[in-house]
Amino acid sequence: MTTPTSPEWWRSAVIYQIYPRSFADANGDGMGDLPGITSRLRSLADLGVDAIWLSPFMTSPQKDAGYDVADYCDVDPLFGTLDDFDTMTTEAHARGIRVIVDLVPNHSSDAHPWFQAALAAGPGSPERAHYMFRDGKGENGDLPPNNWQSVFGGPAWSRITNPDGTPGQWYLHLFDSSQPDFDWTNEDVREMFRGVLRFWLDRGVDGFRVDVAHGMIKADGLPDYTPPAEGGSMGGGGPLGLEPEIDDMTEVDGAPYWGQEGVHDIYRDWHRVLEEYEGDRVLCAEAWVDPLSKMAKWVRPDEMQQAFNFPYLETPWEASALRAVIDESLEAFSAVGAPSTWVLSNHDVVRHASRLALTAENPQGHGIGPKSPGQPVREVGLQRARAASALMLALPGGAYIYQGEELGLPEVIDLPDDARQDPTWFRTNGERYGRDGCRVPIPWESNAPAYGFNSTGAAWLPQPDDWAPYARAAQVGVAGSTLELYREALRVRRSESLGLGSIEWIDGIGDDVIAFTNGTVTVVANAGSTDVALPEKLAGAQLILSSGAFDGATLGADTTVWLRSA
Ligand code: NOJ
């Protein structure tokens, strides 16, 4: 196990994303909490992860599940207290698990005292200058300052009402209207966030996942922008290998709010703040930029340490596309001396146990529901997800796991409409289902209230009736279970230092096969739909793990094996 003093531990770490609302609920109110996380840390140590990343648990009206922060330096009572956070951190560290917290710097909640002060202070004031307030266009200022659209749907500007009841200025919100964008050209904003970083670093956190790390600076003059109707968001095709629809979060050919050069000054500044602290800390960018060579700018030596590899997440389960994105990733990140990361699921995308079996395009963030086209076959999705995870966990660099994927959890597609909570659902009048389907509280025990999420049976999103077989307790120690597949993969990944390794491709096994060696381990993945006979050299090699059917010589469809290299 790596220790809190291991140098640059993040280069090879497996980082487990906890979505606090849905991980474990100690007080039984249906909402997960920090004491719940503490109570389940043993399971994570047992799984073999190096670190946890917690989605936001700070004070928030929860209009966007905590990504609308009203106080960056306190815990929302829904999740507990700062003391609960300290206890959780201490206990995690005692188990050799590092702690990464989510930082949301692009925008605050409209309940943040700075935004409330801005509303009260009036146009031209220093308070308004913390955010992006502008006069409207048109004779009476009743048109928005430009044509930008919110990622969640609808206009990215809302008009305020002055204290005297007259219509006032407009403010920018790239997300929900409850999430006003800060003005990052303002030194007050920069200084406030240095303080936020130090607040959590002083409490012993090992790093930050940085929300919307490609959005904080907007082009001068806030020019109008109309994204192309389709195409180009993730070179090489969308999840189905078709020309993709636009991802609302992905920087495409000059969007004036994504990927502006000015963001890099901010991360150089934060790099210096982290250096004030002993030990190796990590900043991980949520930066939806394309191509990977551009994303690599976020992890130059004096900026962040990691960036989520979303092009990898968006790659279809197809051998040549996978090989291409792996090559591109390794090349782009190593060119700046950074490790690549790998990720297949998170709280914003359709879980990969469902996504990999979709038969229609599904842009990131749109979600799937009962009426979506291309419904996945559950067994196919799980089989592919297991194979895809086994492939990912053999790659050099850092890997991110989203809670529940180690259980093989599918997306919850049939949530009742009145249970949905994602602002995307509301802002598009139900046209996009949004992300609730990947956020349902996870199952721990098969026959307990709320599957052991708590002891009362309450759950902020309803859990499906058929989740008993996915529960952790039903999988632990069961040969062939998805949980055991992950445990074994993480055990061998660590013992063989795969995260620090390098890969050499093996050619000639078949068009649907992706195969490589990483040190002592040979990995063969069959992404096709028919059996593949292994070459003589590999047939009979010692088997380390298999995600599905394998008799030593023939690899089944949608299956990955790890073999001991000769
Ligand atoms: C990205 C986060 O992952 C997502 O959940 C959130 O809605 C947006 N940023 C806005 O903060």
Task: Provide mean pLDDT across the span 437-464.
Answer: 98
Q: Whose CA is nearest to atom 6 of ligand 1?
A: 67
Q: Whose CA is nearest to atom 11 of ligand 1?
A: 67
Same domain for 121 and 246? no
Compute CA distances 477 → 473, 480, 483, 550, whole Å: 9, 9, 9, 20
Q: How many CB atoms lie within 10 A of CB 379?
A: 10
> Measured from the CB, is residue 213 less than 6 Å from ligand 1?
no
* Predicted local distance difference test score (pLDDT) of residue 248: 75
Q: Residue 173 above 90 pLDDT? A: yes
pLDDT in tens, 309-362: 999 999 999 999 999 999 999 999 999 999 999 999 999 999 999 999 999 999
Close Cβ partners of 128 (under 8 Å, ≥ 6 residues apart): 118, 121, 122, 169
Same domain for 378 and 270? yes
* Predicted local distance difference test score (pLDDT) of residue 234: 29
* Predicted local distance difference test score (pLDDT) of residue 254: 81
Same domain for 167 and 193? no
Q: How many CB atoms lie within 10 A of CB 264?
A: 16
% of the chain beyond a pLDDT of 90: 93
Same domain for 448 and 548? no
Task: Provide mean pLDDT across the span 389-417.
Answer: 98
pLDDT in tens, 213-224: 999 999 999 999
Same domain for 224 and 101? yes
> Measured from the CB, is residue 78 less than 6 Å from ligand 1?
no
Q: Is 507 exposed, middle or buried (0-12, 13-18, 19+ CB in 10 A)?
A: exposed
Domain for residue 4, yes or no?
Answer: no
Domain for residue 197, yes or no?
Answer: yes
Domain for residue 485, yes or no?
Answer: no
Domain for residue 369, yes or no?
Answer: yes
Q: Residue 3 above 70 pLDDT? A: no
103 closest CA partner among 14, 204, 200: 200
H or E segment to which residue 195 belongs = helix 187-202
Task: Provide mean pLDDT across the span 197-210.
Answer: 98
Pairing of strands 14-18, 51-54: parallel
Q: Whose CA is nearest to atom 2 of ligand 1?
A: 211
% of the chain beyond a pLDDT of 70: 95
> Measured from the CB, is residue 318 less than 6 Å from ligand 1?
no
Q: Which atom of ligand 1 is nearest to the CA of 176?
A: 10
Q: How many CB atoms lie within 10 A of CB 90?
A: 12
CATH number, domain of 123, equals 3.90.400.10
Strands (E), 12-144: 14-18, 51-54, 58-59, 71-75, 98-103, 133-134
Close Cβ partners of 413 (under 8 Å, ≥ 6 residues apart): 354, 368, 369, 370, 372, 375, 437
* Predicted local distance difference test score (pLDDT) of residue 501: 98
Domains contained in the chain, number: 3
Q: Which atom of ligand 1 is nearest to the CA of 104?
A: 11
The domain in which residue 163 lies consists of 113-172
Q: Residue 246 above 80 pLDDT? A: no
Same domain for 205 and 160? no
Domain for residue 493, yes or no?
Answer: no
Domain for residue 178, yes or no?
Answer: no
CATH number, domain of 516, equals 2.60.40
Token digits for 340?
A: 């690549």
* Predicted local distance difference test score (pLDDT) of residue 559: 98
Answer whether 258's CB lies under 8 Å from 251's CB. yes
Boundary of a domain, candidates 436, 458, 475: 475
376 closest CA partner among 399, 351, 400: 351
* Predicted local distance difference test score (pLDDT) of residue 504: 98
> Measured from the CB, is residue 212 less than 6 Å from ligand 1?
yes
* Predicted local distance difference test score (pLDDT) of residue 239: 41
Task: Provide mean pLDDT across the span 551-557.
Answer: 95
Q: How many CB atoms lie within 10 A of CB 430?
A: 14
* Predicted local distance difference test score (pLDDT) of residue 6: 64
pLDDT in tens, 78-128: 999 999 999 999 999 999 999 999 999 999 999 999 999 999 999 999 999
Same domain for 404 and 362? yes
Q: What is the DSSP letter of 7?
A: T
> Measured from the CB, is residue 175 less than 6 Å from ligand 1?
yes
* Predicted local distance difference test score (pLDDT) of residue 549: 86
Same domain for 422 and 292? yes
Answer whether 565's CB lies under 8 Å from 520's CB. yes
Domain for residue 180, yes or no?
Answer: no
CA 374 – CA 368 distance, rounded (Å): 9
Q: Whose CA is nearest to atom 3 of ligand 1?
A: 348
**d(CA 249, ligand 1 centre) in Å:** 10
Q: Residue 1 above 80 pLDDT? A: no
Find the range with the poorest average confidence among 67-71, 235-239, 403-407.
Answer: 235-239
Same domain for 427 and 335? yes
Compute CA distances 272 → 203, 289, 336, 412, whole Å: 18, 24, 18, 42
Pairing of strands 532-533, 543-546: unpaired
CA 248 – CA 216 distance, rounded (Å): 16
Read off the amino acid at residue 360.
Answer: A
Same domain for 385 and 304? yes
> Measured from the CB, is residue 64 less than 6 Å from ligand 1?
yes
Domain for residue 231, yes or no?
Answer: yes
> Measured from the CB, is residue 176 less than 6 Å from ligand 1?
no
Which residues are marked as active site? Answer: 211, 276
Same domain for 281 and 322? yes
Q: Residue 231 above 80 pLDDT? A: no
* Maximum distance among all Cα pairs of the chain, rounded to whole angstroms: 82
Task: Provide mean pLDDT across the span 151-157.
Answer: 95
Q: Residue 485 above 90 pLDDT? A: yes
Same domain for 291 and 150? no
Answer whether 382's CB lies under 8 Å from 265's CB. no
* Predicted local distance difference test score (pLDDT) of residue 548: 96
**d(CA 211, ligand 1 centre) in Å:** 6
